Amino acid sequence: MNTKIFGVIALIAIVGGGAFYGGMTYAKSQVPARGQFTGNGQFPGGPGGGARAGANGGITFGEIIAKDESSITIKMPDNSTKIVLVGSNAQVMKSTTGSLDDLAIGTQVTITGPANSDGSVTAESVQIRPEGSVPFGNGTRTNPN
């Protein structure tokens, strides 16, 4: 009888340990939710400069250097550029509601929206920032570790 109880306890310990290990492995494989910082103080998937985007989108910021009827080109703080597709569904925000006409070359903007497979971003919203403003504090990254 003692061997049966010992066997059941051992089986429960093995199954519980395996479930715990499996859960920990699964949790490590998950990408943090949009807007959460990773352990290194950056947004998930952020390639640097003016982009902080996960696989499904995020935030892009910089200066508009070119514009046409359906897109703007942003010069990001690391001097790279990003094409942003700006459709009629994108909200253009400033202290009052703006329009696509407010997106002028030289304007500082912060854009939220999903990344496309070609490296461009489709804008869900465009926020016009006051001249001289720096997004996310001082615009530098620090590693809190």
pTM over 0.85: no
Q: Residue-wise pLDDT tens for the chain (145 aa)?
A: 677 887 878 888 888 888 888 888 777 776 555 444 444 444 444 444 444 444 456 778 888 999 998 999 999 888 899 999 998 888 887 666 778 888 888 888 888 889 899 989 898 888 887 666 655 544 433 334 3
CA distance 145 to 39: 8
What is the 3-class SS of 82-140, one letter each residue?
Answer: EEEECCCCCEEECCCECCHHHCCCCCEEEEEECECCCCCEECCEEEEECCCCCCCCCCC
